Amino acid sequence: MSNVEKEPGPQGTTPPEPEPQQPVKRKREYKDFGEDEEKPTHANVDMSTIELKAEDLYDKEKVDLETIVIEDVFKLLQCDENGLSPEEAVRRIELFGPNKLEQDEQNALLQFLSFMWNPLSWVMEAAAVVAIILSNGEHRAPDWEDFVGIVLLLFINSAIGFYEERNAGNAVKALMDSLAPKAKVKRSGSWSEIESSDLVPGDMVAFKIGDIVPADCRLTEAINVSIDQAALTGESLPQAKKAGDQCFSGSTCKQGEAEGVVIATGSNTFFGRAASLVGQDDDTTGHLQKILAQIGAFCLVTIGIFVIAEIFTLYAGFRFAYRRGLDNILVLLIGGIPIAMPTVLSVTLAVGAQQLAKYKAIVTRITAIEELAGVTILCSDKTGTLTTNKLTIDRNTIRTYGPFSADDVVLLSAYASRTENQDAIDASVISALGDPSRARAGIKLLDFKPFNPVDKRTEITYLEESTGKLKRVTKGMTGIIIELCTRNKTDDIENKLEADVEEYASRGLRALAVAYEELDGDNPEAEGNGFELIGLLAIFDPPRTDTKQTIDDALALGVKVKMVTGDQLAIAKETGRRLGLGDHMYPAKVLKDGPAAGGRHASLDDMILDADGFAGVFPEHKYEIVKRLQGLGHLCAMTGDGANDAPALSRANVGIAVEGATDAARGAADIVLTEPGLSTIVHAIRQSRIIFQRMRNYSIYACAVTIRIVVCFSILAFAYRMDFPPFMILIIALLNDGTIMTLSVDRVLPSMHPDSWDLIEIFSFAIAYGLYLTGSTVALVNIIMETTFFQDRFGVRFTNNAYYPANANDPQVHMIVYLQVAIISQALIFITRSHGFFFMERPSVALMAAFCIAQLVSSIIAAYADWGFSAIEPISGGWIGIVWVWNIVWFIPLDWIKFAMKATVIKSIRRRRENKLAKEAAHGVPLTLTTSRATSMHESLYSNRVNFIKRAARRVGLGGKVSVQPEELQRFSSIQAQRVGATLARNPSRTPA
């Protein structure tokens, strides 16, 4: 009691003591998971005039056709529920374009020619020009033999690349084909069926169960509507829709029927926005093209230096005749350029693609195999990829509140479910029984009330045949069911239920409450003795059975897995926990807002790199995540199955469409899996690393041969004025490449870590091997020209039994040099393919057989070829034996050169790189894991889609630009309001009131 006296009331009376208030029972909020929804708003503009300014429409705070009240939608789109007039529809088609996605058609001829438009091809073409045009004169015919050989190799290479690209799937076409072909539309008050491509913003449309939504629309009427939009947004559950809600183009009506007003069509829809992102980077150079560019640049610089040196030395110094000097230069051009590198790599990749097909993986872009070997991060969609996309009752988390067991609760909830024409929830409950027939066994159905958006529950009244009693079961949303319960409902039970629902929600599980009552008498419509809460079921989309093992295997291979899903955050975290993936995940809004100030992450890039996944993402978010990870130096793979995954699949270094994926996802992907589960990805990664090792082995070999040919024959020309025949260099190249083709099936071991192209190491090995092999040839020629060692020891002779060669251009000296170069150059592959001693790693039978055949052919040519046009003559068996022994002696130390390089130069290079990365990391510079991402000044010239060719095509009218233009990365909803409102504001169809 207070000691302060109460003031007297009016007229001196004392107010009466207030009556004690009764405690008000707290109103419980059983907010099941996924119930959050945005309330409709009004357009924050003056609706008295329709002619809105473009800058207002671009401000999402003012207008958003997805969320504003439906009345404002009609005002902004200048339409009503009677639909547009046919004349107005025609006018709007001209304004907004058709409701379809258009595609770019490439000219086949220009596409084929584009494969001959890169520096490597230019050198081949230059050599062909030298052979056929510049080699005229001095009473000698053009060099037809070299010309035909070079052109043949060029066309083989281009044909392989052209065939590969023409067979690749067209993602935009797949997206376009997924649109509904027909639509039911109301024009001037009358319903009719038209092509969906003729729809325009403002049209009134209708659809029912089984139909594909023909355009983005806002519903004006909805009768028990459920929409499956998993392939668009990644949400695992079909979404119930009511009047005022938005439906996306390309989603499927699973239940009910609806009418709505179209707010966006074609490339402006949610679906179309995804299409515009697919192929956005088509003009960028692929990863393998970048590597080819840098290897090509190395070879070109090497050739260029020695060609210039020969021009000055042979013409200015030795005063060679025009044709003689040109033949020497042609030797460097033909022998120095890795003339069949693109072809050899294409064959290697093509064979690899066939091998991957054995693991049920179809490769639609074969260069993706090389990139898969270097993938450091695998971004995976959740719904349908990590999970089954099939709702399931989690029996381990069932809660019971009455005298019934968990099995009893499942059985009773199955009674309250449809056994035919089921929705996803009823199907999950029935399947939880194991035997669907039990859902009606032992009971007689008397009355059934299906789920509807108003009552939000199902109910069954049945006769239990064993006892003859009438009983009733209902299942549905927790808040609805508990309000129905009147029997045995206590505060303890309500507290327990509330805690269980909150726990479910925190784990991303949807709660389904079950209640039960008995009826007296035999009237199925009579009231029962009161519903009693008996159980709570948890519904979720379970992980695939092999997904956890797949993730563990990927981590063991050095590949980090991140979940990127359109589903809600709680569901993503629960799935991550169940898979051992981790639950350190963020909502998509952080991609716009960035990390919180003072948090653990200094930048958005750090957050993306550290996160286990992201939830609630839209297509442009997935695209942005992949793009940022690539910017940090990672090669990214992305798995998915829906149209919402298509942009990220297209952007990723390797897009992987899982089994059952939509046409849009398969079209955007580089690899398509044809059997369920992700275990195929692990097989594909291992196989791709085997293929990578084969390509790396060839790259070292090709660069070493370039050094070996260019340096060797330049030295022979400078020291002995040797004019080696260009045709024999072409023979060496053809035999070498024929053998190297078998590397595509060579036996190699995959790396346990992501592979990367360390070009400095490749070039270092190539220089060491090339100079060593140059020494082997120069030393042999020196002994032949300066001594009589072989003549004295082995009794060999030259033409006409001569003891000495006439000079360095003796046809038999040419043949000796040819045989020595041909044999040891091919033998080098056994060194480059092995990490230890060459005899410790057994080659494939195909490689060994090809090598033996090539050496046999080379020896037969040396023994019998007498081609006058090539300035060679056969040599005796003695000389052939000397060359073989000479090469064996020089071959043995090659392994020791490899080990010495690893212990000195390569070790020093790696130490310097590690120190540089450590310093960068200490200063906050993002760690670049893939060393091959360095750009090259020539890399764009190696792209198959060449800007020069495209510009030429447009000038002569042979090709057009893609009509679906890339858009800024932002929320889809705003772009619809901006385009529709802004266009109508500029072209009003009627005078505003």
Taking only the tens place, the pLDDT of each residue in 270-292 is 766 665 555 444 434 455 667 77
Contact of 685 with 554, CB cutoff 8 Å:
yes
Predicted local distance difference test score (pLDDT) of residue 300 = 85
- Calpha distance 704→190 (Å, rounded): 76
Q: Which of the two residues, 919 and 390, has the higher pLDDT score?
A: 390
Predicted local distance difference test score (pLDDT) of residue 943 = 45
Predicted local distance difference test score (pLDDT) of residue 31 = 54
Mean pLDDT within 28-55: 50
Mean pLDDT within 475-481: 88
Q: Which of the two residues, 506 and 902, has the higher pLDDT score?
A: 902
Predicted local distance difference test score (pLDDT) of residue 237 = 63
pLDDT (tens digit per residue) in 782-793: 999 999 999 999
- Calpha distance 647→645 (Å, rounded): 6
Predicted local distance difference test score (pLDDT) of residue 974 = 32
- Calpha distance 671→640 (Å, rounded): 11
Tokens encoding 452: 């509807």
Predicted local distance difference test score (pLDDT) of residue 768 = 95
What's the whole-number average pLDDT of the chain?
77
Q: Is the pLDDT of residue 55 over 60?
A: no
| Banded pLDDT at 981 (limits 50, 70, 90) | very low
Residue type, 612: D
Predicted local distance difference test score (pLDDT) of residue 971 = 28
| Banded pLDDT at 248 (limits 50, 70, 90) | confident
Print burial letters for 618-652: b (CB count within 10 Å at least 16), e (below 16): bbbbbbbbbbbbbebbbbbbbbbbbbbbbbbbbbb
Q: Is the pLDDT of residue 267 over 60?
A: yes
- Calpha distance 749→691 (Å, rounded): 10
Residue 812: what are its φ and ψ, rounded to 5°?
A: -75, -30
Find which of 1-15, 108-122, 303-317 is predicted with most confidence, using mean pLDDT: 303-317
Predicted local distance difference test score (pLDDT) of residue 877 = 92
- Calpha distance 338→897 (Å, rounded): 23
Contact of 127 with 328, CB cutoff 8 Å:
no
pLDDT (tens digit per residue) in 939-958: 444 444 334 334 443 443 43
- The helix (H) or strand (E) run that includes residue 569 is helix 569-579
- For the domain spanning 287-351+686-907, the CATH number is 1.20.1110.10
Q: Which of the two residues, 889 and 749, has the higher pLDDT score?
A: 889
Contact of 462 with 445, CB cutoff 8 Å:
yes
- The fraction of the chain above a pLDDT of 90, given in percent, is 16
Tokens encoding 823: 């044999």
Pick the CATH number of 70-101+179-272 from 3.40.50.300, 1.10.340.30, 3.40.50.170, 2.70.150.10: 2.70.150.10
Domain 361-388+544-674 superfamily per CATH: HAD superfamily/HAD-like (3.40.50.1000)
Radius of gyration of the chain (CA): 38
Instruction: Say yes or no: domain 404-429+452-535 is CATH 3.40.1110.10.
Output: yes
SS3 content of the chain, % helix, strand, coil (to 5): 50, 15, 35
Mean pLDDT within 553-578: 85
Question: Which residues sit opposite 463 in a β-bridge?
Answer: 444, 470
CA distances from 511 to 32, 394, 811 (A): 6, 11, 90
Describe the crossing of helices 569-579 and 547-556 by its angle, rounded to 10 degrees. 70
Q: Which of the two residues, 859 and 642, has the higher pLDDT score?
A: 859
Which residues does the annotation mark as catalytic?
A: 381
Four-residue CA torsion sign, 850, 851, 854, 859: negative
Mean pLDDT within 684-690: 86
Predicted local distance difference test score (pLDDT) of residue 40 = 56
Please compute, for residue 542, the number of CA atoms within 13 A of its CA located in the half-sphere on the CB side: 13
- Residues 6 or more apart from 511 whose CB is under 8 A from it? 30, 32, 33, 477, 478, 500, 501, 504, 505, 536, 537, 538, 539
Helix (H, G, I), strand (E, B) or coil at 487: coil
- Residues 6 or more apart from 355 whose CB is under 8 A from it? 687, 691
Q: Where exactly are the structural domains of the chain?
A: 70-101+179-272, 287-351+686-907, 361-388+544-674, 404-429+452-535
Tokens encoding 147: 């010309």
Give the 3-state secondary structure of 879-917. HHHHHHHHHHHHHCCHHHHHHHHHHHHHHHHHHHHHHHH
The DSSP-derived string for 369-438 is HHHHHT--EEEE-IIIIIB-SS-EE-GGG-EE-SS--HHHHHHHHHHTS-SSS--HHHHHHHHHTSSGGG
Tokens encoding 887: 């090469």
Q: Which of the two residues, 727 and 599, has the higher pLDDT score?
A: 727
Tokens encoding 835: 């990490």
- Measured from the Cβ of residue 778, the count of other Cβ atoms closer than 10 Å reads 17
- Calpha distance 488→401 (Å, rounded): 10
Mean pLDDT within 438-443: 88
* CA quadruple 453, 457, 463, 466: dihedral, nearest 10: 150
Tokens encoding 639: 């798995």
The DSSP-derived string for 45-104 is S-TT-----HHHHT-TTT--TTTB-HHHHHHHHT--TT-B-HHHHHHHHHHH--SS---P
Name the least confident of 247-251, 382-386, 440-444, 756-760: 382-386
Name the least confident of 87-101, 102-116, 574-588, 841-855: 102-116
Four-residue CA torsion sign, 789, 790, 793, 796: negative
Mean pLDDT within 522-532: 87
Predicted local distance difference test score (pLDDT) of residue 166 = 57
Q: Is the pLDDT of residue 379 over 70?
A: yes
